[in-house]
A and B are shown apart, each in its own frame.
Chain A
Amino acid sequence: MTSTTTSSHLGALLMAPVNALMRVVDIPLRGLQKSTGIGGMAAFFLAPNMLIFGIFVLLPLFINIVYSTTGGTAFFLSERSFVGTEQYQRLFTCTNYLDPMSCQEDAFWTAVGNTFWFVVLQVALMILVSLVTALILNRDLIGRSFWRAVFFFPVLLSPVVVGLIWKWILQRQGLLNFILYEIGNVTPYTWLTDRNWTFIATIGVSIWAHMGLYTLILLAGLQAIPKDLYEAAEMDGTKPARVFWRITLPLLAPNLLVVVVLALIKAVQIFDEVYVLTGGGPGTSTLYLTQYIYETGFASALRNPGLAAAASILMGLVLVVLTLMQLGLGRKNENKGKR
């Protein structure tokens, strides 16, 4: 009782200068309101957000097109010369489109290929794991919120921390080798120098880090399925497998589709944890699109902002298609809910 009153006193004390400031701010704003009217104040409230959006999101979108049609290594637009579609042509110059090495920009096509396989495998596996976890969490469990939190924990961790946790486990003297040594006396292996294992590691680590989010959304979808459907099925003596295929899956389908598209959008942009875990290597085995754009634009000695901009626009187009799919699916769900 006393502690709450003290804390509210403390709160009042802390808020006092803020409130005083707001009272001072109010004086010129009343003047503004008098000259613009109430409607004008709406513009005032909207202005800061729109200004920041305009400068840091919309403006870059347009400048990106300018970058992708100009050449040179300079970042200032005035020092760049117009080259038309040269950057795009450079990206698409290949003698054999199925072999990245035959392309002029072989790193780009390697990144595209890697990202494609990463997205396909990671999303498929992650949705499967998330769905199984959601189904299990949806059962009559003791301490469900605890178990839900367990699977959600890695979602909050920073990608850098995730990368370092797993880099440490996959070391030669790391936990994985230790476990394999204890179980089967396997000799320690340097997992992160093996092309195939690093690719698998990036898939596994990103599933570990993000599956909690999708589990949560799917669980919310499962809990929205009316209980009486299951009761009716039980009364009819329907087999559990049939209940799953005939009730659970069809009613979860809209959520599942949204989750798949959301996972696709995130997977296409994969960068942070992989950059820390493998740095794109060994060689180019885990070089994904965002890292290609980052290195082409900023990090490499032969940096080429125009080429990076062109690649990022191509990636943006893929994301726009995916997002439109997501919005379309969302609308369809809403209509279903209304009916």
Chain B
Amino acid sequence: MGAAARFILRRKGGKGWHWTDIVTWVWLIGGLIIMFGPAMWLAFSSFKTPAALNEFPPSILPYVTSQATVQGYDKPLQLFEAKMPDGTTKVLAEVRRIGLVAQMVDPTTPGEIIKVNMNDRTPVRSVSFATENYTEPFTQFDFLRYLWNSVFVTVVATLITLIVNSMAAFALSKYEFTGRNLAMFVILATLMVPLSVIMVPLYSIISTLGMFNSLWGVILPTVATPTGVFILRQYMLTIPDELIDAARMDKASEWQIYWRIVLPLTAPALAVLAIFSVVWRWNDFLWPLIVLSRRELYTLQVGLSIYSGELNVQWHFILAMTVVTMIPVVLVFIFLQRFITTGIAGTGLK
């Protein structure tokens, strides 16, 4: 045991433990709990029944009180473990409660009523996952619709972003023309214009174009991202111009050069931008909230916020749908996190 502990605690280079090592590991383990704990808590809670959600103190796993149908009673009765006067314990079903005394019956002999003091019984509970939290919002509410709207917005906006931004980046990196610096400046300047500054006039433009209450009104204002042009242009600058000159000699059109030569070579940068774009568009909230006012057009984010802002919050549905909303981002995190972190560390942009 001591040898194993010594092996685990052994430090590189045979150095002993320093107080900074303790701080480091306390910070890291604490970080692990604080960063993942809240999301895990939400995920565990999402499988609880409304009754279990209202319990205090709460349990971590979703428990439900066991029930049994007893002959002579219409509704299923809740089961309790009751301490009998002779010291034995018995599983009984509760018929009704009067003050501190519960009237209970033995499921095997339903005829006779046994009176048990409230303090002498504990509910029989078992772990059970309330999967209806997940199925009901899809079947009875519009959440399937919201899911579809979110997927549509994310996929279409990302595709348009990739095409439009890569075309602009191609023009800005591979052509010499008057006004190129002006175009670069305009694009960089728009980094300064966040949505919160232009939402009133943007709304009027969207309305004028007839895109109010339309998913296109959500998509179009977001697709010309300065960040996207910037990332792609930086990457395209590294593609040698000789390749393009050689293609021109072979009578390739400019469009073919863009599509057949430059785009395939830019694939790594396009992949990074695609990941960013998917996360951005999936998570967008304020702009869809302004543009979409009809329920059937909500994205998941808008739907969630509207339902969670109601007076009587149906937490069991909200929690389950929050987990559904989290899934794509968690998948991106698990499989593509490396691309994102290197992308951010490289450009300092998000």
Interface core residue of A41, A181, A279 (most chain B CB under 10 Å): A41
- CB <8 Å contact, B36 and A150: yes
* Identity of the chain A residue whose Cβ is nearest the Cβ of B222 in the assembled complex: A56
Contacts of A152 in B (CB 8 A): 333, 337, 340-341
A216-275 with Cβ < 8 A to chain B: 216-217, 219-220, 240, 258, 262, 269, 271-272, 275
- CB <8 Å contact, B192 and A166: no
**Does B27 sit within 8 A of A, measured CB to CB?**
yes
Contacts of B164 in A (CB 8 A): 48-49, 52
- CB <8 Å contact, B285 and A158: yes
A285 to B: closest C-beta gap in Å: 17
Given contacts A158-B285, A165-B39, contact A46 B58 (CB under 8 A): no
B332 to A: closest C-beta gap in Å: 6
Contacts of A275 in B (CB 8 A): 285-286, 305
Given contacts A164-B304, A290-B286, contact A46 B348 (CB under 8 A): no
Contacts of B340 in A (CB 8 A): 152, 156
Contacts of A212 in B (CB 8 A): 35
Contacts of B277 in A (CB 8 A): none
Contacts of A57 in B (CB 8 A): 190, 193, 198, 221, 224
Chain A contributes a number of interface residues (CB within 8 A of B) equal to 103
Q: Which of A1-9, A95-103, A118-126, A309-317 contacts B (4 or more CB under 8 A)?
A: A309-317
A174 to B313, CA, bound (A): 14
- CB <8 Å contact, A63 and B204: yes
* Identity of the chain A residue whose Cβ is nearest the Cβ of B28 in the assembled complex: A147
- CB <8 Å contact, A173 and B58: yes
- CB <8 Å contact, A150 and B35: yes
Contacts of A181 in B (CB 8 A): 56-57
A295 to B: closest C-beta gap in Å: 11
A233 to B306, CA, bound (A): 57
Counted as pairs of residues, one from A and one from B, with CB atoms less than 8 Å apart, the total is 281
**Does B77 sit within 8 A of A, measured CB to CB?**
no
A101-153 with Cβ < 8 A to chain B: 132-133, 136, 139-141, 145, 147-153
**Does B127 sit within 8 A of A, measured CB to CB?**
no
A26 to B333, CA, bound (A): 38
**Does B129 sit within 8 A of A, measured CB to CB?**
no
Given contacts A153-B333, A168-B45, A319-B194, contact A56 B199 (CB under 8 A): no
Main SS at interface, chain A: helix
A130 to B: closest C-beta gap in Å: 12
A150-209 with Cβ < 8 A to chain B: 150-161, 163-169, 171-175, 177-178, 181-182, 188, 208
Given contacts A64-B197, A139-B24, A140-B12, contact A76 B345 (CB under 8 A): no
A182 to B: closest C-beta gap in Å: 7
Contacts of B82 in A (CB 8 A): none
**Does A73 sit within 8 A of B, measured CB to CB?**
no
**Does A42 sit within 8 A of B, measured CB to CB?**
yes
Which of B27, B38, B183, B198 lies in contact with A50, CB distance below 8 A? B183
B313 to A: closest C-beta gap in Å: 9
B37 to A: closest C-beta gap in Å: 8
- CB <8 Å contact, B304 and A279: no
- CB <8 Å contact, B167 and A178: no
Contacts of A258 in B (CB 8 A): 348
- CB <8 Å contact, B197 and A133: no
Which of B319, B325, B341 lies in contact with A168, CB distance below 8 A? B319
**Does A77 sit within 8 A of B, measured CB to CB?**
yes
B307 to A: closest C-beta gap in Å: 10
Contacts of B163 in A (CB 8 A): 48
A163 to B38, CA, bound (A): 11
- Write the B310-350 contact mask toward A (1 if CB under 8 angstroms, else 0): 00000100110010011001001100011011001110101
A73 to B204, CA, bound (A): 13
Contacts of B305 in A (CB 8 A): 160, 163, 275-276
Which of B31, B54, B253 lies in contact with A26, CB distance below 8 A? B253
Which of B31, B170, B175, B344 lies in contact with A217, CB distance below 8 A? B344
- CB <8 Å contact, B28 and A136: yes
**Does A58 sit within 8 A of B, measured CB to CB?**
yes
- CB <8 Å contact, A272 and B286: yes
**Does B279 sit within 8 A of A, measured CB to CB?**
yes
A290 to B: closest C-beta gap in Å: 4
- CB <8 Å contact, A160 and B301: yes
**Chain B residues near A (Cβ < 8 Å):** 12, 20, 23-24, 27-28, 31-32, 34-36, 38-39, 41-42, 45, 53-58, 163-165, 167-168, 170-172, 175, 177, 180, 183, 186-187, 190-194, 196-205, 207-208, 220-221, 223-224, 229, 248, 253-256, 258-259, 279, 282-283, 285-286, 290, 301, 304-305, 308-309, 315, 318-319, 322, 325-326, 329, 332-333, 337-338, 340-341, 344-346, 348, 350
Task: List 17 interface pairs A-B (beta carbons < 8 Å), by A numbering.
Answer: A41-B255, A50-B186, A59-B205, A133-B31, A136-B28, A141-B24, A147-B28, A152-B340, A152-B341, A154-B39, A156-B333, A159-B283, A160-B301, A178-B58, A294-B286, A312-B200, A313-B197
Given A60-B201, A148-B341, A156-B332, 17 more pairs with CB closer than 8 A = A42-B175, A42-B177, A43-B177, A59-B205, A139-B20, A141-B24, A161-B329, A172-B56, A173-B58, A178-B57, A216-B344, A220-B346, A258-B348, A276-B305, A276-B309, A293-B196, A298-B203
The 8 A-B pairs at the shortest CB distance, nearest first, are namely A158-B283, A49-B168, A42-B175, A63-B201, A45-B171, A60-B201, A52-B224, A220-B345
